[in-house]
Each structure stands twice: as C-alpha cells, then as structure tokens.
C-alpha cells in the first residue's frame, strides 16, 4: 500500500510483496494468460515469459486490464494475432479503453493485434474447456473461470467477487484447485472476507484452496497459521501443478 508502514507492508517475508492478481496457465497444447494487470510487464520479465497463445479477461477494472498494451511483444515475437476472450461487457470496455489497438486502420506488424471473442458460457482452448460463470462484484459482474480437461474439473479461478452464487458453486464443485477472492478480515462491499471465502471453500470442497487478491490486512504467515491445512494464501510466483 502506497505510503503505508504497517507490519505487512514492511514485512521481510517475500510472500508479503504482492503485485496485482493474474494467473498464467500452461497446458500441453497452449499457454493461456488470465488478465493483464498494470504489473504485467514486470511479471513477464520476472518469470521469463516468451509465449502467450490466448488471453482471458475476468472483468475490466483497471487493476486487471492496464497491462494490455504489453501483449504487443507476444504478437511481435511470433508474428501473430492475439485471441482475446471475455464476456461481451468486458470486451466492449477493452475496445473503448484501448480503441487504438482494435482499429484495423492503425494496426501494423510489430504492434498488438487483438482478436476479440465474446464468450457466453464456455470456450475450448486446445484440449482444455473453460466454463464462464457470473460472479457479483459490487455494481459489476465478473467472470469466474473453471478449467477442465477430459471432463475433470482441474482449476476454478474466482477473483474479484463479493459472493459465489449457487450456480457457480455447482459448476465448480469438487474441483482439484480453487483460487478464491479473500480481501481482508472485515466485510467489504465488493470482495469476500477471509471467513466468507473459507465458507465458500467448504461448499465447493476442492482438494486445495488458495486465497488471492488479499490486501495488507492479511500477513502471509500469520494468516496461514489460522487457516485449515488445505487452504493457503497465494503469493507472487507461486506455481501449482494440476
């Protein structure tokens, strides 16, 4: 937090040094990026990313989209267009905010070349099925994502939500890994609290749960100490095999 000297913001634990939330998924066929936050360039350089085949957006809040322009390098390296997937509401906002990138008249080889694809229920990326479910986030609706292969639910990514509706719980029930919004201890009007997220995790009953999108109210080690063993806090650079 800018200008803050709290115990988490000044913590020596590297897991308390948090950039904005996003995930990067590698399957046998494809490399998939979910959201491009303002820190996207820093994250790509840190992890040595050289390839992205498709990008999925959960919603259009600035902390999830403002790294969009850095996708240009992935188009340039392989001389390709970049498929962009999201709900119609999300893609409409991207086209408004980044109008220059979607204007064919001004597009050239070394620049970002987005191919927008509206998703209503699900998409197929290689052998991976991605189901979209609606999640409430204040005045906005975000897209929760459920990744499956061979009809096995592997990963559910539910960031930026104040609740997980019953339809989303049913769609993700028994998933191997659940990544879930858990902003802080106190209730919040647009995000889930730590206790709310723990309740949702019990309902979905994944093998493992990782909380994400935490604010500086949650120190890593002290928070994990009070959580069940199958619920952990995500941290920058975390790699999970499913």
CATH number of the structural domain spanning residue 152: 3.60.15.10
Are 109 and 31 part of one and the same domain?
yes
In a domain, 16, yes or no: no
Instruction: Give 42's pLDDT tier (boundaries 50, 70, 90).
Output: very high
| Boundary of a domain, candidates 120, 154, 174 | 120
Whole-number Å distance between alpha carbons of 242 and 230: 15
Q: If you average pLDDT over residues 95-124, what whole number do you get?
A: 90
pLDDT of residue 156: 98
51-65, 106-120, 176-190, 225-239: the lowest-pLDDT one:
106-120
Whole-number Å distance between alpha carbons of 216 and 111: 36
% residues pLDDT > 90 (the chain): 96
In a domain, 212, yes or no: yes
Is the per-residue pLDDT at 105 higher than 90? no
CA of 58: how far to CAs of 29, 94, 106, 206, 226, in Å? 22, 12, 27, 21, 29
In a domain, 34, yes or no: yes
Q: Are 219 and 13 in contact (CB under 8 A)?
A: yes
In a domain, 9, yes or no: no
Q: If you average pLDDT over residues 49-64, what whole number do you get?
A: 98
Are 114 and 168 part of one and the same domain?
no
pLDDT of residue 110: 73
Among left, alpha and beta (phi > 0; psi -120 to 50; other), residue 205 is left
Instruction: Give 159's pLDDT tier (boundaries 50, 70, 90).
Output: very high
Task: Quote the mean pLDDT of the chain.
Answer: 96
Whole-number Å distance between alpha carbons of 14 and 242: 24
CB neighbour list of residue 146: distance below 8 Å, 6 or more residues apart: 130, 131, 133, 153, 155, 156, 157, 171, 172, 175
Are 93 and 189 part of one and the same domain?
no
Residue 192: both structure tokens together = 């889930």
User: In the chain, at which residue ranges do the beta strands (DSSP E only) sit?
Assistant: 23-26, 31-34, 54-56, 82-86, 114-118, 122-125, 128-137, 140-149, 152-158, 177-181, 208-212, 231-233
Q: Are 26 and 52 in contact (CB under 8 A)?
A: no
Instruction: Give 127's pLDDT tier (boundaries 50, 70, 90).
Output: very high
Q: Which residues pair with 125 in a beta bridge?
A: 128
Number of structural domains in the chain: 2
Classify residue 191 by its DSSP letter. S
Q: If you average pLDDT over residues 205-227, what whole number do you get?
A: 97
Q: Which residues pair with 83 in a beta bridge?
A: 115
pLDDT of residue 106: 74
Are 104 and 125 part of one and the same domain?
no
In a domain, 206, yes or no: yes
Cβ-count burial 100-127 (b if 16+ within 10 Å, e if not): ebbeeeeeeeeebbbebeebeeebebee
CA of 128: how far to CAs of 86, 122, 154, in Å? 16, 10, 10
pLDDT of residue 31: 98
In a domain, 14, yes or no: no
Is the per-residue pLDDT at 52 higher than 90? yes
| Boundary of a domain, candidates 59, 90, 120 | 120
Are 154 and 86 part of one and the same domain?
no
The alpha carbon of residue 86 and the mean position of all alpha carbons in its chain are separated, in whole angstroms, by 12
Considering the entire predicted model, what is its pTM? 0.96
pLDDT of residue 14: 97
Show the domain range for 207: 121-234
Are 114 and 127 part of one and the same domain?
no
Are 37 and 69 part of one and the same domain?
yes
């Amino acid at each position: 937090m800018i200008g803050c000297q709290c115990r988490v913001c000044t913590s020596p634990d590297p897991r308390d040094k948090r950039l904005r939330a996003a995930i990067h998924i590698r399957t046998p066929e494809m490399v998939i990026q979910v959201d491009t936050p303002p820190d996207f360039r820093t994250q790509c350089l840190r992890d040595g990313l050289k390839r992205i085949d498709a990008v999925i957006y959960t919603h259009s809040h600035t902390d999830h989209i403002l790294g969009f322009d850095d996708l240009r390098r992935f188009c340039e390296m392989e001389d390709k267009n970049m498929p962009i997937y999201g709900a119609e509401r999300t893609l409409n906002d991207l086209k408004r905010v980044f109008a220059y990138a979607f204007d064919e008249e001004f597009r050239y080889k070394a620049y970002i070349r987005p191919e927008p694809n509206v998703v209503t229920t699900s998409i197929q990326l290689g052998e991976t099925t991605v189901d979209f479910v609606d999640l409430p986030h204040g005045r906005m609706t975000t897209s929760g994502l459920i990744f499956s292969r061979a009809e096995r639910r592997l990963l559910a990514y539910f960031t930026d939500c104040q609740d997980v509706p019953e339809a989303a719980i049913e769609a993700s029930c028994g998933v191997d890994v659940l990544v879930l919004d858990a902003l802080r201890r106190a209730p919040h009007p647009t995000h889930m609290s730590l206790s709310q997220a723990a309740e949702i995790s019990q309902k979905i009953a994944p093998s493992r749960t990782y909380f994400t999108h935490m604010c500086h109210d949650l120190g890593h080690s002290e928070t994990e100490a009070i959580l069940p063993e199958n619920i952990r806090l995500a941290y920058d650079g975390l790699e999970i095999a499913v």
